[in-house]
Amino acid sequence: MDTKNRTPGQLRARTAFKLAVAFLSPLQGIIKKGFREKAKRKKSLALSLALGHALQAAILDRDTDPKINPAAILLSEGALAPISLMHVLRNADYIEVKHVDIQNRFVNGDDLITVCVYHVASGTAVVNTALNRREEGLVMVSIPIELQQEVLEVYLVVSDRREKKFARSMHLGRSLPNNVWEK
């Protein structure tokens, strides 16, 4: 089909698709792990499932000027118990997440916690390098020097120790320099 013959609705849908792909592409590694179980169950690709969710839930102003709502993006999906947040702090060169969990039979202390810091404009995503377990109650992720004065989207992902099962990811907020947070 020639681009001159596309309707405004088709152009908006194409723009929304391009926005979602551009937003999710730098996060492919974590998405592949986080949607692996669901993708296998549905006989689909992990990135396709994340993209489908983004197109359904994360597109704002669909009828005028499509934009991505980072809070509606999912990096993982699953039935694992999520964590209860207590405190998120941004320092000059790192982000710290303290959390507590109510101990019950559905929560394993050896579940892994991953914090993903994402700078949308440059397409740079950084995750904590240390293996942080649920029972530790603290995750720290270093912010590269080139991103220390930038606005960052912060996500949290919980997986079992083998990274086979996941909880639904959480958007912790938009972090501005000087420890200012937007939800």
The structure tokens 């109650």 sit at 137
Are 158 and 92 in contact by the 8 Å Cβ rule? The answer is no
pTM: 0.92
Q: Which residues pair with 125 in a beta bridge?
A: 118
pLDDT the model gives residue 100: 83
Domains (range + CATH), the chain: 3-72 (no CATH), 84-182 (2.60.40.10)
Print pLDDT tens along the chain (183 aa): 455 788 888 888 899 999 999 999 999 999 999 999 999 999 999 999 999 999 999 999 878 888 999 999 999 999 998 888 779 999 989 999 999 876 666 778 899 999 999 999 999 999 999 999 999 999 999 999 999 999 999 999 999 999 999 999 999 999 998 888 887
Q: Which residues pair with 150 in a beta bridge?
A: none
**CA dihedral over 133, 136, 142, 147, signed as positive or negative:** positive
Which residues fall within 8 angstroms of residue 24, CB to CB, at 6 or more apart? 31, 47, 50, 51, 54, 73
